[in-house]
Amino acid sequence: MTTTPPTLRHAFTIVAEVAPPEVLEHRGDATLEYIPITGGRVTGELSGTVLPGGGDWCLVRADGVFRVEARYLIRTDAGDLVDVHNVGYLRHVAGDTGDWTAMRYFQSTPVFRTASPDLQHLTSTVFVGRAHAGPGATTVEVFEVLA
């Protein structure tokens, strides 16, 4: 049997505005930071507003890898509420150097929950995210994994 990789289709873009990180805990050589999500916008086949009040719990490991776990809400332009739980890694690609803004590997697996009958496909589909972090916002390009 031949194995072929799945096809990805761009679904929407999330731009989450963020405040500066705050240290929550030191774990040996790692640091757990909390990055407040203060707002933002979603565009594409899902469109709406990122609601303030969410956050990203970011574990900065001793090896320079960032393990991110973000939790926030989207209010769609149609008025529906969507819960987002997005987990991933931010790190350098082999040979790269620089601070976290220069890290080119930022991949994630967003999972969505909603009561909206029109958005139930979000709750039964696998999505992957390719992100870019900047000082005031994180942008996540969300791709649907097709059969």
Q: Name which of 31-35, 50-54, 100-104 the model is least confident about.
A: 100-104
> Taking the alpha carbons of 83, 112, 80, 75 in that order, is the dihedral positive or negative?
positive
**H helices present in 19-119, as ranges:** none
Q: What pTM, to 2 d.p., does this model score?
A: 0.93
What single letter denotes the amino acid at residue 96? Answer: D
Q: What are φ and ψ of residue 104, in 5° steps?
A: -100, -15
Question: Mind listing the pLDDT tens digit for each residue in 55-83?
Answer: 999 999 998 898 999 999 999 999 999 99
In the chain, the domains with their CATH numbers are 8-145 (2.40.160.20)
